[in-house]
Amino acid sequence: MRLLVTGGAGFIGSNFVRWTRESRPEVSMTVLDSFTYAAQGMNLEVDGWLAANGDHVSVVVGDIRDRTLVDSLVAVHDVVIHFAAESHNDASLENPSEFVDTNVNGTLSVLEAVRAHGKRLHHISTDEVFGDLSLDAPAFTHSSPYRPSSPYSASKASADLLVGAWVRSFGVRATVSICSNNYGPFQHVEKFIPRQITELLAGRVPRIYGTGANVRDWIAVDDHSSALWRIIDAGQIGRTYLVGTHNERSNLEVVAALLEVFGRPAGDIEFVRDRTGHDVRYALDTSLIFDDLGWRPAPRSFRRELESLVSWYADHEAWWREAKTTSEERYRRLGH
């Protein structure tokens, strides 16, 4: 199988590429990525990985909005998996146009290419398309309405709607997955868990938006990659699969666990300005992927996962140092 991976240099895309190399040696991959600030430090090159796997993985530096480029790449691959996006909520509040342009027009470009060449597409989406869930409400299901809150989630919701329309109107062979919050190595330091780990490594304190009562369902990025392969292998065309692990934690709980790992006092927290339009909670009903596709996340202890993530960030400072400076400058400007 020849697989085209858009956004394959980002956090989840690069995990998927590495994961695929280990578990599917027969698959050859092309990464298409424009290397925005989010593809920090050439993820795939860290520890000599790309050099060691260059016979099976090639990298094209290019933009998903470049229709000619995308068309020519899709033509010579069997399956496209579409991760490329602007992905950070706080950034979308500062610069919404870039999010609409990349996430909507970029997805349109991918859809037009798979339509022209009759290729299979898997599109990556997010639980944020459903918007806000109160702390005691049942999880989002397939029939929950799309009610995105931020420019980021609205642009992802728009992209999903385009995929659905291309399946229905043009018979494009596509599936969609909606996943919860990922954690793992190579996540950009602007995101919640890496930001707090790198603050603690520097001897500073974690920064909590608002009261810290907001809840996210944390999934290991390896589990996301395994779910994606299950959908590529056995997913039903036109279906949207909800991918989560029922590992719901408030932001305060996550920070409390990190403080314990570092042996720091429980009160070492700074409460900062809340995010505008901050969604209280996300949670997903995963019965379709659990029951129909038989997928399950690997058994894990979240606490032990955080411990190994702390070690990973401590060992890879060269990878995140420069991005950390830029990211913290932006957070200072935003009052976060």
The catalytic residues are 127-128, 152
Contacts of 291 (CB under 8 A, 6+ apart): none
In the set 20, 30, 34, 149, which binds ligand NAD (CB under 6 A)?
34
* Contact of residue 302 among ligand DAU, ligand NAD, none (CB under 5-8 Å per partner type): none
Is residue 293 classed as helix, strand or coil in its secondary structure? coil
**Residue 171: left (phi > 0), alpha (psi -120 to 50), or beta?**
left
Phi, psi dihedral angles at 9 (to 5 degrees): -100, -5
214 touching ligand DAU, by CB under 6 A: yes
Q: Taking a C-beta distance cutoff of 8 angstroms, is the pair 37, 11 a contact?
A: no
Q: Taking a C-beta distance cutoff of 8 angstroms, is the pair 1, 26 a contact?
A: yes
Size of the site for ligand NAD (CB under 6 A): 29
* Contact of residue 209 among ligand NAD, ligand DAU, none (CB under 5-8 Å per partner type): ligand DAU
Q: CB 244 → ligand DAU: shortest distance, Å?
A: 9
Q: CB 45 → ligand NAD: shortest distance, Å?
A: 13
Angstrom distance (rounded) from CA 184 to CA 44: 15
307-336 residues in contact with ligand NAD (CB under 6 A) are none
* Contact of residue 146 among ligand DAU, ligand NAD, none (CB under 5-8 Å per partner type): none
216 touching ligand DAU, by CB under 6 A: yes
Q: How many CB atoms lie within 10 A of CB 168?
A: 10
Q: Report how far Cα 335 is from the mean position of its chain's Cα atoms.
A: 25
Angstrom distance (rounded) from CA 329 to CA 100: 24
Diameter over CA atoms, the chain: 58
195 touching ligand DAU, by CB under 6 A: yes
117-156 residues in contact with ligand DAU (CB under 6 A) are 126-128
Residues that bind ligand NAD (CB under 6 A): 7, 9-13, 33-36, 38-39, 63-65, 83-87, 102, 106, 124, 126, 156, 179, 181-182, 188
Which chain residues interact with ligand DAU by CB under 6 A?
A: 87-89, 126-128, 180-181, 191-192, 195, 207-209, 214, 216, 251, 275, 282, 336
